[in-house]
Amino acid sequence: MLQNGVNTKNQDDCWMNMAIKLASNGIGLTSPNPCVGAVIVHENQVIGSGFHKKAGLPHAEREAIADGVANGNAPLFADSTLYVTLEPCSTSGKTPPCTDAILKYRFKRVVYGSEDPNPKHRGAAADILEQAGIKVTRGVLEKECDRLIRRFRVNMLEGRPWVIAKSAMSLDGRISRSPERSQWLTNEKSRSFVHTLRAECDAVLTGGNTVRLDNPSLTIRKPDRPVSPLKEQPWRIILTHDASSIPADSICLTDEFRDRTLVVENVFSYLELLKKLYNDKKIGTILLEAGGCLVREFLKAGLVDEWVGFYAPIIIGGGADGVAPGPFLEHEAHLEQPVVNIFGGDVCIRGDICYR
């Protein structure tokens, strides 16, 4: 594909990469919507850009258009290409369809990465735009764009939140020193990263035992990167057999965010619980920060989508609980493309779980 002697495929990849970077600013903010980024390019120059910031606010395309308009570039749109990581939406939801905005300014070309897993929009935009004489190119950096919305895809296709299990443990796989004595195993850098991880999620889920033993806050307080001012504190979900066993003076029940705490009694099906949290509270991503028992149960049910394991340079050797004290999976699971980070002496391994 050569146009004026320049390879358009490389250019498309380059601008789509920029849109992907923009979209990632929305991680943790957009539920139940996906993260989407958009860039408007005229003669190899960006004349507008934006990303989806929060459900109910304008979509990425309209953000980029508004940015271009504010900079006086609207007259150039008809000779420009709009790059967007996700297929534009084409029916009204909380916001009007993006295809309308694209038609209004008669863009010359639209390039998108992923198909929208939302059946309301899937596959519809290209026809609408092409019928109006706009050139459409799909599937540019599709794998990368799909990765950006993999949580949203699980939300749409399975009707439940994406679950990230975070565990901190010793080299011998124990998550505490003793059943009665809880103390940090990982260092301050690792713990700061956990706050950043919470900022990626809509809720933190834990067990009643953890609340009784550790009395955690489960809020975002010391992230190792800046967090958007649009980010609300995550919901805190406490699973227990008996709500009255959670001390009334627990931080989660008494601090300024106590109306963001849900105590859930007697869960029979974790899948049903997750579906209810997605449907009722629009929780799209959950961070499971719990003891070994709950983590094992979620893994057994195939409900952990992503693993973030912190390994502290300690060998405890005592009788305390671990993530895996005995057999609990019929078939092994592995991490896809794991990423390793070093926080001081702690090692963090992160990746999506594949159960096959």
Q: Binders of Zn ion: how many residues, by CB under 5 A?
A: 3
The rounded distance, in Å, linking the Cα atoms of 81 and 78 is 8
The three-class DSSP label of residue 90 is coil
What is the nearest approach in angstroms of ligand AOF to the Cβ of residue 25? 12
The one segment of 52-60, 127-135, 180-188, 214-222 that binds ligand AOF by CB under 6 A: 52-60
Residue 101 touches Zn ion, criterion: CB under 5 A? no
Active site residue 332: no
In this structure, are residues 36 and 85 in contact, taking their beta carbons and an 8 Å threshold? Answer: yes
> Minimum distance from CB of 244 to ligand AOF (Å)?
39
What tokens were used for 333? 């699971």
Sequence-separated (6 or more) residues with CB below 8 Å from residue 259:
none
Nearest to 23 by CA among 71, 74, 64, 67: 64
Residue type for 45, please?
Q
* Residue 341 bridge partners (DSSP): 348
**Residue 168, marked binder:** yes
Q: Does 59 help bind ligand AOF (rule: CB under 6 A)?
A: yes
Which lies closer to ligand AOF via its Cβ, residue 121 or residue 350? 121
Locate all alpha helices (DSSP H) within the chain, ordered by sequence.
8-23, 60-70, 98-105, 125-131, 142-148, 150-158, 188-199, 208-214, 251-254, 270-281, 292-300
Q: Which residues contact 199 (CB under 8 A, 6 or more apart)?
A: 28, 220, 223, 227, 231
Residues in region 81-120 near ligand AOF by CB under 6 A:
86, 88-89, 93-95, 98, 116, 118
Partner whose footprint covers residue 346, from Zn ion, ligand AOF, none (CB < 5 to 8 Å by kind): none
| Nearest residue to ligand AOF, scored by beta-carbon proximity | 93
Which C-beta is closer to ligand AOF: that of 91 or that of 215?
91
* 198 assigned binding-site residue: yes
- Select from 6-14, 64-72, 90-98, 169-177 the region that touches Zn ion (CB under 5 A): 90-98
Integer angstrom CA distances of residue 71 from 48, 65, 66, 67, 106: 8, 10, 9, 6, 18
Q: Does 19 bind Zn ion (CB under 5 A)?
A: no
Residue with smaller CB distance to ligand AOF, 147 or 191 = 147
Of 130 and 172, nearer to Zn ion (C-beta) is: 130
Identity (one letter) of the amino acid at 84?
V
Q: 85 among the known binding-site residues?
A: no
Sites of contact with Zn ion (CB under 5 A): 59, 89, 98
Instruction: Write out the binding residues for Zn(2+).
Output: 59, 89, 98
What amino acid positions are annotated as catalytic residues? 61
